[in-house]
């Protein structure tokens, strides 16, 4: 993907249907050409013309797994753009909260490959890379253990009952029986605000400095 000081790229990690999708939006703020990619595949393109030059579309629609998604672009003040994502009529923030309230997610790396493991917290149904898997369960003094294999490597999810102020169920993921994998937490932004005026000012200074250098060389 090209790196251009007059282009910015923002991204969201969208959890949907027990999978994760990386959504990237690339916007050239001088021409307002827009490209949207899902897992590196382009799904939307807006090319400027004389009728919309300098005016980005405020609604940019595309679909993921048959679900309509929309990147909303607002310009609250000149040169300042606010980007937000809507999925199936819901704000991305709401989608994230609902998903991670219902599911636990891990991303173990085994033999150099990253897997996406998603477990429904209450029913304990489990998916690997979007496909539901069968688990064998054992009951121990520490709780319930769900056992399965990834690429021939033994894995287990330990479910413990937590009693106290934070009562509920705790799920812990282990590879090779004793190597714990941290719970995946998406700390990414849900909305983005880009002030292109600072970049424009930087470009003006750069151009001015370049002209100074040319002037000095030609003296």
CA–CA distances in Å: residue 147 to residues 66, 135, 151, 174: 33, 6, 14, 10
Beta partners for residue 101, in sequence order: none
Q: Of all residues in the chain, what percent carry a pLDDT higher than 70?
A: 81
- Considering the domain boundaries, does residue 47 fall inside one? yes
CATH number at residue 176: 2.40.128.180
pLDDT at position 214: 45
pLDDT at position 132: 95
pLDDT at position 166: 55
Question: Is the domain of 16 the same as that of 53?
Answer: yes
Question: Is the domain of 49 the same as that of 121?
Answer: no
> Pairing mode, if any, of strands 41-46 and 33-38?
antiparallel
pLDDT at position 200: 54
Separation of CA 210 from chain center: 38
- Considering the domain boundaries, does residue 217 fall inside one? no
With residue 96 as reference, give the H or E element that holds it.
helix 92-102
- Considering the domain boundaries, does residue 66 fall inside one? yes
Checking if the pLDDT of 55 tops 70, the result is no
Question: Is the domain of 131 the same as that of 171?
Answer: yes
Beta partners for residue 20, in sequence order: 15
Separation between Cα atoms, residue 95 and residue 161, nearest integer Å = 27
- Considering the domain boundaries, does residue 112 fall inside one? yes
Checking if the pLDDT of 107 tops 50, the result is yes
Question: Is the domain of 197 the same as that of 119?
Answer: no
pLDDT tens-digit readout, 144-200: 899 999 999 999 999 988 776 555 789 999 999 789 999 998 887 888 887 877 655
pLDDT at position 198: 66
- Considering the domain boundaries, does residue 1 fall inside one? no
Average pLDDT, the chain: 83
- Considering the domain boundaries, does residue 102 fall inside one? no
For every residue of 169-217, DSSP letters joined together read: EEEEEEETTTEEEPBP-----SEEEEEHHHHHHHHHHHHHHHHHHHHHH
- Considering the domain boundaries, does residue 101 fall inside one? no
Assign 216 a pLDDT band (cuts: 50, 70, 90). low
Domain residues for the domain of 171 are 108-181
Question: Is the domain of 17 the same as that of 89?
Answer: yes
Question: Is the domain of 117 the same as that of 177?
Answer: yes
DSSP three-state, residue 125: coil
Checking if the pLDDT of 143 tops 60, the result is yes
- Considering the domain boundaries, does residue 87 fall inside one? yes
Question: Is the domain of 15 the same as that of 84?
Answer: yes
- Tell me the average pLDDT across 4-17: 84
Higher pLDDT: 163 or 66? It is 66
- Tell me the average pLDDT across 32-54: 79
- Tell me the average pLDDT across 113-130: 94
Question: Is the domain of 14 the same as that of 90?
Answer: yes
Question: Is the domain of 124 the same as that of 171?
Answer: yes
Q: Of all residues in the chain, what percent carry a pLDDT higher than 90?
A: 52
Question: Is the domain of 13 the same as that of 78?
Answer: yes
pTM of the model: 0.78
Question: Is the domain of 75 the same as that of 137?
Answer: no
As a dihedral over the C-alpha atoms of residue 101, residue 108, residue 127, residue 95, rounded to 10 degrees, the angle is: 30
Contacts of 51 (CB under 8 A, 6+ apart): none
pLDDT at position 53: 46
Q: What is the DSSP letter of 58?
A: S
Q: Give all strands (DSSP E) within the chain, no chain letters.
A: 7-16, 19-28, 33-38, 41-46, 59-64, 67-77, 80-87, 90-91, 103-106, 109-110, 113-114, 117-120, 126-128, 131-132, 136-140, 143-150, 153-162, 168-175, 179-181, 191-195
pLDDT at position 78: 78
Question: Is the domain of 83 the same as that of 137?
Answer: no
Count of domains forming the chain: 2
């Amino acid at each position: 993907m090209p790196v251009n000081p007059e282009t910015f790229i923002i991204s969201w990690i969208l959890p949907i249907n027990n999978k994760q999708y990386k959504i990237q939006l690339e916007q050239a703020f001088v021409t307002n050409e827009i490209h949207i990619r899902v897992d590196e595949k382009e799904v939307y393109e807006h090319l400027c013309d004389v009728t919309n030059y300098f005016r980005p579309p405020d609604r940019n629609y595309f679909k993921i797994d048959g679900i309509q998604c929309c990147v909303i672009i607002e310009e609250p003040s000149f040169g300042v753009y606010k980007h937000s994502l809507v999925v199936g009529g819901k704000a991305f923030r709401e989608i994230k909260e609902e998903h991670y309230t219902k599911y636990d997610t891990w991303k173990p790396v085994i033999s150099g490959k990253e897997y996406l493991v998603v477990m429904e917290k209450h029913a304990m149904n489990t998916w690997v890379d979007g496909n539901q898997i069968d688990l064998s369960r054992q009951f121990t003094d520490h709780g319930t253990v769900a056992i399965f294999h990834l690429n021939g490597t033994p894995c287990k999810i330990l479910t413990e009952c937590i009693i106290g102020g934070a009562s509920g169920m705790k799920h812990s993921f282990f590879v090779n029986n004793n190597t714990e994998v941290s719970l995946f937490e998406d700390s990414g932004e849900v909305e983005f605000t880009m002030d292109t005026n600072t970049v424009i000012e930087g470009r003006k200074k750069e151009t001015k400095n370049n002209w100074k250098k040319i002037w000095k060389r030609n003296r």
